[in-house]
Amino acid sequence: MASPKKKLQGLVAATITPMTENGEINFSVIGQYVDYLVKEQGVKNIFVNGTTGEGLSLSVSERRRVAEEWVTKGKDKLDQVVIHVGALSLKESQELAQHAAEIGADGIAVIAPFFLKPWTKDVLINFLKEVAAAAPALPFYYYHIPALTGVKIRAEELLDGIQDKIPTFQGLKFSDTDLLDFGQCVDQHRQQQFAFLFGVDEQLLSALVMGATGAVGSFVSRDLSILWSN
């Protein structure tokens, strides 16, 4: 089971994937990017290959290399590197999850499959469970982003009993504007000490009031990072 000791909290930068003019990944700037986040913005947690990183537009091999580069360059500088491993293919998602574990990432996150969609909670949970099982020592986060996946199962419904199915479940990345759903997640699962990471930057203040324990965003700054450092 994943160790809960490294709780992911505070500000988490959703990293872009740097590209060259030729459309190749520009691995050479990732080291500078780490330094920029840590030194200039005071951010020591990152979320790689997510929406901002355009992970779903990359090939599996590119996703693996991007993850490796962030983990390598972030070593001894970053606190946590969480890799988004969601994919339409369960096997690809499992491969990426296993790879994240092998390279020493600190957690994995998964969105709902968005083409042939899971229409019930149980179907979605079964998919997530199979991915999580491929990396049984890594904390697992569900990435709830219904506007992009079209999967509108409420997060609060999904969280109900989730640790019975996914023992490594450690939190929710909530990228939706339904603050009632977010508030109910926090309220009903406070005792389980899940990470409640909010992902709509424009509503962050409201989410903080409702109990967000962190935020994953494309707009990160020192001003925001100090929100959690006092």
Active site positions, annotated = 143, 173
Q: Which residue in 179, 222, 174 sits closest to 199, CA to CA?
A: 174
By CB under 6 A, tell whether 201 contacts ligand SI3. Answer: yes
Number of residues this chain uses to bind ligand SI3 (CB under 6 A): 15
- Could you say which of 100, 108, 200, 224 contacts ligand SI3 (CB under 6 A)? 200
Nearer to ligand SI3, 155 or 200 (CB): 200
The distance of closest approach from Cβ of residue 161 to ligand SI3 in the complex, given in angstroms and rounded to an integer, is 26
Nearer to ligand SI3, 118 or 146 (CB): 146
Sole window of 31-39, 156-164, 183-191, 212-220 interacting with ligand SI3 (rule: CB under 6 A): 212-220
Amino acid letter at 219?
Answer: F
Terminal Cα distance for the chain, rounded:
31
- Could you say which of 154, 216, 224, 225 contacts ligand SI3 (CB under 6 A)? 216
Chain residues 30-49 in contact with ligand SI3, contact rule CB under 6 A = 47
Q: Where are the alpha helices (DSSP H) in 9-110?
A: 30-35, 60-74, 90-103
Q: Where are the alpha helices (DSSP H) in the chain?
A: 30-35, 60-74, 90-103, 121-133, 146-149, 155-159, 162-165, 179-189, 204-209, 222-225
By CB under 6 A, tell whether 202 contacts ligand SI3. Answer: yes
Sole window of 34-42, 94-102, 178-186, 196-204 interacting with ligand SI3 (rule: CB under 6 A): 196-204
Report the alpha-carbon distance of residue 159 to residue 115 in Å, rounded.
22
Which of 195-230 are b and which e, b meaning 16 or more Cβ less than 10 Å from the residue's Cβ?
bbbbbbbebbeebeebebbbbbbeebeeebbeeeee
Nearer to ligand SI3, 52 or 98 (CB): 52
Packing angle between helix 90-103 and helix 121-133, nearest 10 degrees?
40
Sole window of 33-41, 153-161, 193-201, 206-214 interacting with ligand SI3 (rule: CB under 6 A): 193-201
Burial (0-12, 13-18, 19+ Cβ within 10 Å), 60 = middle
The distance of closest approach from Cβ of residue 1 to ligand SI3 in the complex, given in angstroms and rounded to an integer, is 25
Sole window of 86-94, 99-107, 185-193, 214-222 interacting with ligand SI3 (rule: CB under 6 A): 214-222
Chain residues 47-66 in contact with ligand SI3, contact rule CB under 6 A = 47, 50-53
The alpha carbon torsion through 191, 197, 201, 207 (nearest 10 deg) reads 0
Which single residue brings its beta carbon nearest to ligand SI3?
A: 50
By CB under 6 A, tell whether 182 contacts ligand SI3. Answer: no
By CB under 6 A, tell whether 17 contacts ligand SI3. Answer: no
